[in-house]
Amino acid sequence: MKYTNRLRQYTHEIWEANYYHPFVQAIGSGTLSEEKFEFYLAQDYVYLKDYCRLLALGVAKGHNLKSMGRLSELLQTTLQVEMDLHRAICADFNLSPQDLEATEPAPNCLGYTSYLLRIAYEGDSLDFLAAFLPCAWGYVEIGRRLKRKGLPQHAHYAKWIETYASPEFWEFTESIKEEINHLAQGLPPQKLERLQEIFKFSCRWEYLFWEMAWTEQRWTDS
């Protein structure tokens, strides 16, 4: 069994909880309130900024030139394309660039990005990939599963699903999985167990991010 399949099997219950989270299911049915989606978009913008920092650290710690090049391309795409697309979608919900830049991270958003950045700073390239993978893999799986059920009539939610169900997003995720499987060959059990725990905690944070969006989580003094 490939190592990434073992990771997926190890965290199966969390993955299913992510897919069946009411926020995700409401996107799929087109019934999610736009207020909750606006909150999600603003927090996701905050997340994406730290995601870019995470990718920059990943490039620096890349195992080889191919890996560094792949992550560098993703960083440039995120900075130059995905952030612009995100701002355009936010504009449809009357969220201006100034609004987005002024957004304070909610507790779970801050917790998740802090965890990812800590792993990237302290760990090696494989630690980084194990922490990074649940976001990309989780979104592509959610997108593909929701699309198989049929797209909602709500145009923005349908576009969101189409984005993460795209072949390009799937191919990128598969390339990360292949690299992890290659690097994991011959590693001692202690290292493989550490990677499992890193991967599991990122999966947990993914769930908490959905929960944050669903409840429109705030700090107690805000």
Q: Is position 203 annotated as part of the catalytic site?
A: no
Task: Give me the catalytic one of 135, 141, 179, 203.
Answer: 135
Candidates 168, 175, 162, 138; CA nearest to 12 is: 138
Candidates 202, 207, 160, 212; CA nearest to 39 is: 212
Task: Give me the catalytic one of 38, 141, 179, 206.
Answer: 206
With tokens 């560098």, the residue in question is: 72
Tokens of 172: 């990128």
3-state helix, strand, coil in the chain (%, to 5): 80, 0, 20
Q: What is the DSSP string of 55-75?
A: HHHHHHT-SSHHHHHHHHHHH
Q: Is position 135 annotated as part of the catalytic site?
A: yes
Per-residue b or e along 47-64, where b marks 16 or more CB atoms closer than 10 Å to that residue's CB: bbbbbbebbebbbebbee
Candidates 95, 49, 103, 102; CA nearest to 218 is: 103
Contacts 24+ apart (CB under 8 A), 100-105: 100/42, 100/45, 100/46, 103/42, 103/43, 103/45, 103/46, 104/46, 104/219, 104/222, 105/43, 105/46
Catalytic residue IDs = 135, 206
